[in-house]
Chain A
Amino acid sequence: MRKIISFILGTIVALNLSVSVANAAANEVRVAFFLEWATPNQEAKVKKTFDKALGVPVKWTNFATGGEMTEAMLSGDIDISYSQGLTPFVNAVNAKAPIKLVDIAVIYGMGGTTCVAAKGIDKGNASSKLDGQKVAVPLGTMADYVFKETMRVVGADISKMKVVDMNPEDGSAAFVNGDVAMACLFGGKSIKAAKEKGASLLTVKEAQDAGIAGIDITSVTNKFLKENPGMVRTFVEVTHEANARYNAGKADMNIIAKDAAMDLAGTKKQMGGFEFPNAGTMKSKYMNKGGILMTYLEVMGNMFATSENPALKDYAAVVDTSYLP
């Protein structure tokens, strides 16, 4: 009996003292990224430009969804998430996660994230044909946002559909099998596979006109920001240099394609739909008060708010432009 009690007390003391281990002195920078999502800074990643510029090793870990990036940041395993979708970021800050947005990674049209509908369904008849049908959507991701916006544009009622929560790879397979009438997806391979059996509900142009665009961002944990502001600045700077190189047509596409685990043609096609604005454009058009990014944050924040995690009053508090070069 006494042994049991002392064991329990010992466990309690040990648990109470186990405050999360701090990442002291930043001997390395841990960055999260996506595969199948080609970005210019992957060239810098492969050539170790980041490591050289930061003066410490950079450890890259690939993730399947932006939500998982947030989880890893909260547990202290990741310092910087590169190209996290705006939707998972909004979900995280709505849930009061201590992370901040410091940079826009990619701006992309519907080429990168889109809803593919079965043959015979187009934007004209979607509102009636999708009623009562099953649709595959990876909930809580950018594709979820695109799904909601697309349905608003074509005038379809989401509550009449049966939304199946599936990752893009599974959603694409289910769509090809005919299990679902529509699949909302991101990622080059998934979209390509799905398009063999259907077509995008909205073209890139139509989506653009309707104001649907995807924004991927760079988010950093508060702790890392406070302790290593110089490193964050350098990280953003190297990324922007790589973007400038790509925008000038000087990037080595083979390296990027290989690192993104895609073929060269697919990479070129995917990146053709991407936009990498420079710091000036970001500050004047996107991240300023009333800018595009801020509007998106607010729209999305309210779209994905739940009763426990309501939208923030002001999203400017989670955006910090001072790290842009």
Chain B
Amino acid sequence: MITGIITFLVIFAVIGSILYGQRLAKTEKSDAVFGNPERAKGGVHWVIVGTSFLLLSWLYYSWDIAKAFYPKSANELCQVAKVNESLLSLKYLFPIEERHHKSTALIKRENINIQKKITIIQNSTDLKDKDKELFVKLLKKTQRTIPLLTDEKLLENETKDKIRDLTNRITWLTEDFQKISYPPIKSVEEENKRIEELKKQLGWGATGMEVPPLPESKRGLKFHTAAQELNKISDEFFSLRNHNPEYLKLLKEIREEIKKYKDSLDDSQELEITFIKEIKKLGQRIEYESVFPPNALDEMEKSIREFDVAQKSEQGNLIYIDALLFPAGTIVASGPTCAEDGPGRWLPKPSDTFRIFGDLLKPSVGFKMIPMIWYEMMGVNRIVGFILPDWIADVMPGKYPVHSADGTVKPNFKSKVLDVVTGEFKAFKIPVPTGHIWDSFLRVFLGLTLGIIFGVPLGLFMGLNRFAKGFFDPLVELYRPVPPLAWAPLVITVFGIDNLGKVFLLFMVSFSIMIISARAGASGTQLSKIHAAHSLGASRWQILREVIFPNSLPEILTGVRVAVGMCWGTLVAAEFLAGTSGIGFVENVARKYMQYEVIWITIFVMGMLGLLFDVTIRKIIDKTIPWRGKG
């Protein structure tokens, strides 16, 4: 329902925005020539079109539109898929969807295989001539079994009858299938039982139900029943073998010869045993397959084709729904169950995705017992204990208390200081954020900040000082081009699987980017500006602070934007390697349990967080360097 309304809204938004955009282009008086950035300003309506277009593609390719407008279509298509599945093996015998008859392809392949084997045997240097002769003779005999199977005259009446019987059953089914009364109601009890079970069935896309398998409509029931009948026919056909007495006689002869030969061998003659086994397998392979004379199955093929035409026409508007609303895939059946195959499987429907996202956001649910983003109450003491280093207590005058004779410990000033710096005191609690999203955010934020704090001064220094440039250049340039992920296993081994390792990895990423951009900024400062400041009496510090730093700010801030993107990419991969929390961890676990909705949620959240970072930095850029591009 909601999806349907949204679909219409989105379509209206697109049409409206396009019309508005065209009118605007007509009425607007603009003398900006091509290439003038003024021409790219504004245009919120195009943002609407872009966003709507994305949403529309998502709705369409996840088959959510099909679900909104034809909620029963999946169930009906599931029944059609059952028919297709039961026909699959039979169809595969004939050139309906393939190029050749299966028998043709098989005979062609086996003739080649036998020829190849003969060549190998004749060229073998290890085999005795006597064995060679026997092997070739056996292979030729095996080859002679093929015409016995394909000879029309040798086909037994019993087999013929069976084929005719199966063909008739398909033809009858085709006739019945087109009748309105099909399938006939067997008994009232069974019908009631069926209706009872239908009531229990969940809808398409409900939690834990991908596609409801039991037929819900009359048309569905028709296909469902036909599929059952076809399955029986198919099973009976494939248990049928064209083993006429002539063939069996020759096969027995070959078998006996093989057995006789094998009995004459002892265990040490490995090579001979292998060869004889392979020859036996070749014969077996032909024996197992359904090989028939070229025209024996013509009637059957015709009946299958007829049924195929009938079932296609019975599908009615389902064919169009399938083609239009189930793009790039369809519903497939596997035994009694059905599943979405194509984008419907890996591209979750927006409605499902947001429902599950809503569930995950509930702090009591979360993912793997950790909420996505929530808060927990934390005592101020723990924060104090984390920030203040423990050695403060050690450098205090005096000694730590020793227990007294009566078995008590009396605290003194030094131990009280220790309690404060380790956070062992009572304090009020404040809420702090927690959860997967917060963890990932914090890691990126810390890595980035550390990178900026250390990278920018060093970069500026390297841009201004010959020693610094020469000394640090090899170090930075050697580790910078290595993809950060290549460092991941090492960093995780050295710094552990906790936050420290991940933050360090992100620091490495942002550090090198900040160095490069700060250095480029510093060395790109116009000399005239430095000279002007110098002649006005500026000190070194003042030149650095007032001239060089502001001049390199555009480069530095662009560097920050690049670093944010790199940091996100690296973080997710690092959380893949060793994770207890974080977005990457969620995605990796979801992948293992095939929870595609959750995977898309993580991708969505990462995109949003990246956007948030980027928008923030863009705001900072606008505030701090408004002169950029205007100098």
Contacts and interface: CB of A to CB of B under 8 A. Distances in A.
A94 B330 CA distance: 20
| Among B92, B210, B585, B588: residue with most chain A CB under 10 A | B92
A167 to B, nearest CB: 8
Interface string B264-300: 0000000000100010011001001100000000000
A163 B578 contact: no
Contacts of A308: 207-208, 356, 595, 597
A55 interface: yes
Contacts of B579: 164-166
Contact of A98 (B110, B207, B334, B585): B334
A173 interface: yes
Contacts of B588: 165
B113 A55 contact: yes
B592 A52 contact: no
Given A230-B288, A309-B594, A317-B335, A170 B328 contact: no
Interface residues of A, number: 64
Interface in A176-217: 177, 179-180
A274 B577 CA distance: 29
Interface stretch (A13-21, A34-42, A113-121, A145-153): A13-21
B593 A226 contact: no
Interface in B106-122: 109-110, 113
A95 B341 CA distance: 12
Interface in B398-436: none
A318 to B, nearest CB: 8
Contacts of A25: 98-100, 105
B440 to A, nearest CB: 15
B624 interface: no
Contacts of B498: 179
A279 B341 CA distance: 33
B592 A67 contact: yes
Given A18-B328, A67-B592, A91-B593, A98 B339 contact: yes
A140 interface: yes
A94 B209 CA distance: 10
A97 B89 contact: no
Given A70-B594, A95-B594, A173 B493 contact: yes
Interface string A88-105: 100110111110100000
A166 B595 contact: no
Contacts of A170: 489, 492, 577-578
A163 B368 contact: yes
Nearest to B337: A96
Size category of the B interface is 35 or more
Interface in B351-378: 356, 359, 368-369
Nearest to A233: B288
B591 interface: yes
A56 B580 contact: no
A6 interface: no
B88 interface: yes
A309 B592 contact: no
Given A19-B329, A165-B579, A179-B496, A24 B288 contact: no
A19 B328 contact: yes
A229 B594 contact: no
B341 A166 contact: no
Nearest to A99: B334
B580 A164 contact: yes
Given A20-B329, A307-B208, A229 B593 contact: no
B503 interface: no
A266 interface: no
A134 interface: yes
A167 B346 CA distance: 24
B335 A67 contact: no
Contacts of B208: 307-310
A304 B61 CA distance: 29
B442 interface: no
Contact of A97 (B323, B356, B589, B594): B594
B327 interface: yes
B493 A177 contact: yes
Contacts of A56: 109
B589 A139 contact: yes
A9 interface: no
A244 interface: no
A319 B323 CA distance: 33
B85 interface: yes
Contact of A309 (B110, B577, B595): B595
A234 interface: yes
Interface string B316-343: 0000000100011110101111110110
A20 B585 CA distance: 30
Interface in A120-143: 134, 136, 139-141
A227 interface: yes
A171 B270 CA distance: 44
Contacts of B238: 229
A180 B497 contact: yes
Contact of B578 (A24, A53, A92, A165): A165
Contacts of B593: 91, 95, 140, 304, 306, 309
Contacts of A65: 592
Contacts of B496: 174, 177, 179
Given A53-B278, A55-B285, A222-B85, 7 more contacts: A15-B327, A55-B113, A56-B109, A94-B594, A98-B341, A165-B589, A177-B496
Interface of B: 61, 85, 88-89, 92, 97-100, 105, 109-110, 113, 207-208, 210-211, 238, 274, 278, 281-282, 285, 288-289, 323, 327-330, 332, 334-339, 341-342, 345, 356, 359, 368-369, 489, 492-493, 496-498, 577-580, 585, 588-589, 591-595, 597
26 contacts: A18-B328, A20-B341, A20-B342, A24-B98, A54-B285, A91-B593, A94-B594, A95-B593, A95-B594, A96-B210, A96-B337, A96-B339, A136-B497, A163-B368, A164-B497, A164-B579, A170-B578, A174-B493, A174-B496, A174-B578, A177-B493, A177-B496, A223-B88, A229-B89, A308-B356, A309-B208
Interface of A: 12, 15-20, 22, 24-25, 47, 49, 52-56, 65, 67, 70, 74, 88, 91-92, 94-98, 100, 134, 136, 139-141, 159, 162-167, 170, 173-174, 177, 179-180, 222-223, 226-227, 229-230, 233-234, 304, 306-310, 317-318
